[in-house]
Amino acid sequence: MEPVYATREDVQRATDSKLTARNAGQIDRALQSASRDVESLCHRVFYPEIGTRYFDWPDSQYGTPWRLWLDDSELLSLNSLSSGGVTIDLADVLLEPNRSGPPYNRIELNTGTAASFSGGDTPQRNVAAAGLWAGSPLTETTVGALAGAVATTTATQVTVNGPASALLGVGSIIRVDTERMLVAGRSMADTGQNLGTDIDQQIKTVTIPVASGAAFAADEVILIDGERMLIVDIAANTLIVKRAWDGSANAAHASGADVFAPRTLTVERGALGTTAATHSDAAPVVRWDPPGPVRLLTIAEAINTVIMEQAGYSKVLRSGESGGSSERNRDQKGVERLRQQVYDSHGRKGRVRAV
């Protein structure tokens, strides 16, 4: 799966829709399309990826053999650099613009040293640069820790401790140690907490006593028996919830019932140029955060796609309206303004070479 800039749960909450297998696939398709549209609009890729990228000898670009323009391959950090198979000492390398980067849009060699882009049999793909690439600064948030070791490099399920599930969703990019993973699904795991008293079936009964309120987070979904509940607040060791959440049926529950939360993640291992590895119990789980405006536009574009798909990509005009002032055209104005805001704040000019 390709990385996206918002999660399935972001779109679900924004549209206040219950999750089914059918609309989960629809939302995932919309997020993929929206993320690629944002990249096309801004002429850059925002997610971090480790790898080696190859460039022509820079003299053929601008006649300045000590400066290499990276164009759409913007750089966060450089691990190695070579030209014509000859390694260049990173102490002789300047990443620019140094005042506003990272990300950096060019690599320069210190002209006060003997370093040069040279050698090799051809100028084509002469320069190899290995590092961490992304079109925005690297912003990460620690959201929890592993609830158990990851003992193999092929395991595709990991479980996180505590209320981190409220901070993760399908589409999140997480990092454990040096390995990045893409979250492709979530399932329920036992939180180790139990219901502290009998709960009746009435929808107005919204207080759920547990042994430790600190084991949960507001906006987290819990499961007791067959009923899902959304935590809207926590008062000491009492969860304040919305009953019958996500299309489930409200029911009575007996004291001591297990409390589950979606803390088991199905992941794609060794993602974005990293290598799958084993990880110890309680290793920190870190979430990559896309730029705020990029995330908002991705959500808006995905919602727009879902709504239009449900309407067969057409909308009925209101009474007395004609095509120029249609409901659909008015609905698009907010998204268009957001597109312009994102381009103004995060867009780059597409560089085209003269022939």
Tell me the average confidence (pLDDT) per consecutive run of 10 residues in the chain, 355 residues long: 94 76 85 97 96 88 82 96 95 96 95 88 92 97 93 95 84 97 94 94 95 91 94 96 91 96 95 98 96 97 87 58 50 85 90 53
The torsion region of residue 125 among left (phi > 0), alpha (psi -120 to 50) and beta comes to left
Q: Which residues contact 78 (CB under 8 A, 6 or more apart)?
A: 90, 93, 95, 107, 129, 130, 131
Neighbour-count burial of 97, counting CB atoms closer than 10 A to its CB (0-12 exposed, 13-18 middle, 19+ buried): exposed
Query: Measured between alpha carbons, how far is 230 from 219 in angstroms, rounded to an integer?
Result: 6
Query: Measured between alpha carbons, how far is 206 from 306 in angstroms, rounded to an integer?
Result: 32
Contact assessment for residue 276 and residue 154, using Cβ atoms and an 8 Å cutoff: yes
Query: Measured between alpha carbons, how far is 264 from 153 in angstroms, rounded to an integer?
Result: 17
What burial letters (b/e) apply to 74-94, b meaning 16+ CB within 10 Å?
bbbebeebbbbeeebeeebbe
Kindly state the DSSP code that residue 112 receives in the 8-state scheme: T
Phi, psi of 100 (to 5 degrees): -115, -15
pLDDT of residue 67: 93
The β-bridge partners of 269 are none
pLDDT of residue 20: 64
Contact assessment for residue 160 and residue 145, using Cβ atoms and an 8 Å cutoff: yes
pLDDT of residue 350: 67
DSSP for 51-106 reads EEEEE--THHHHS-TTEEE-TT--EEEEEEEEETTEEPPGGGEEEE-TTTPSSBSE
Q: Which residue has the tokens 């008015």?
A: 330
Helical spans, DSSP H, in the chain: 8-15, 21-42, 59-62, 292-310, 327-346
Contact assessment for residue 170 and residue 190, using Cβ atoms and an 8 Å cutoff: no
Query: Measured between alpha carbons, how far is 17 from 57 in angstroms, rounded to an integer?
Result: 53
Identify which of 34, 10, 39 has the alpha carbon closest to the alpha carbon of residue 308. 34
Query: Measured between alpha carbons, how far is 83 from 129 in angstroms, rounded to an integer?
Result: 9
